[in-house]
Amino acid sequence: MKLWAAAALLAIGSASIAQDAASPSNGSLNSRLSGDLVPTHDPVIAREGNIYHVFSTGHGDRLIETRTSPDLVHWTAGDPIFTSLPDWAKQAIPGSNGMWAPDISHVNGRYRLYYSVSTFGSNRSAIGLATSPTLDPKAKNYGWRDEGMVVMSTKDDDYNAIDPNFIIDRTGRHWLTLGSFWTGIKLFELDPKTGKPKDAKAKPFSIARRPAPAGGPAPVEAPFIIDHGGYYWLMVSYDYCCKGVNSTYYTVIGRSKEITGPYLGKDGSPMMEGGGTIFLRADLQEQQRFRGPGHAGWIHDRDGRDYVVYHAYDKQANGAPTLRIAPVQWGADGWPVAQY
């Protein structure tokens, strides 16, 4: 995108930019996304000033991919957060060559980027933490500092320490939810100062699980918790990602009065029993262009609007994982609907 165009968009004002991005008269937001949208896998989104930042899975020497936009529509890829794994991660997870499924938040004057280190199909996995005072690579004080390991799982554990998401509850307690396959989604209480578990020996809370059928696993992963309307809302992805156009990923949501659960779907189905309400899904006939929508993140923008960010696999681009963003409307029944 031309520099003058970016400057003009910034001059419009943050509220009008977001309103235009979500305007039905301009078609869906997803239909107007442009620029560097591929490859985007497991995205999260944040806003600093008038710039939106998306962070996503990276491999090789591009560990955590970055993208920025002034208006949620036009996206430009940036440099990766890291170009090599920290030494602790190389030692803890031999054979890993990526940082997966980041999570971004702003806490105590610094941005916290939680990330996963693992190898495919294994629960020898770890969550790491990096922090920076700003997201702007051009700022004088920009710079990511790795803070080391947060949580690790091994073959002796019944969970998989990937897909982190951080939240502060309404009482001020800090939490990290994570998990993939095995016995599902876990919730750890954190020390607010360190961003690491408050009690290293404490057993995590279980908040979502899909009991495995006789024919094999029933995957659940990619948790994200939102605080809205007196409820905590838990999004998770069901079924399989990472298979291009054959991916069967979809996202469900449930809510709870307590952050520790129980999370229930609109019909009362418990997420500890594979329940929940469908939030993002491609058509069952598999004719839509974008397949397997999932690994959703969320932003409550400063103008009061909510957006869900996720990836889906583009049938017109050999199944490339592609950035997708949709405004969210809260219905009269109190439940969210993604406008995708």
Active-site amino acid positions? 42, 221
Report the alpha-carbon distance of residue 36 to residue 95 in Å, rounded. Answer: 29
And the tokens for 209? Answer: 């699980």
Residue at token pair 């799982």: 153
> Does residue 137 contact residue 78 with C-beta atoms inside 8 Å?
yes
Name, in order, each residue with C-beta under 8 angstroms of 171's C-beta and a sequence gap of 6 or more.
none
- Give the angle 52-56-57 at the CA atoms, nearest 5°: 170
* E strand or H helix at 106: strand 98-107
Residue at token pair 């980027």: 113
> Does residue 273 contact residue 211 with C-beta atoms inside 8 Å?
yes
Write down the H helix ranges in 43-202. Answer: 87-92
> Does residue 258 contact residue 230 with C-beta atoms inside 8 Å?
no
CA dihedral sign of residues 184, 185, 190, 195: positive
Residue at token pair 């995108």: 1
CA separation, residue 181 to residues 13, 89, 159, 254, 309 (Å)? 43, 21, 7, 18, 22
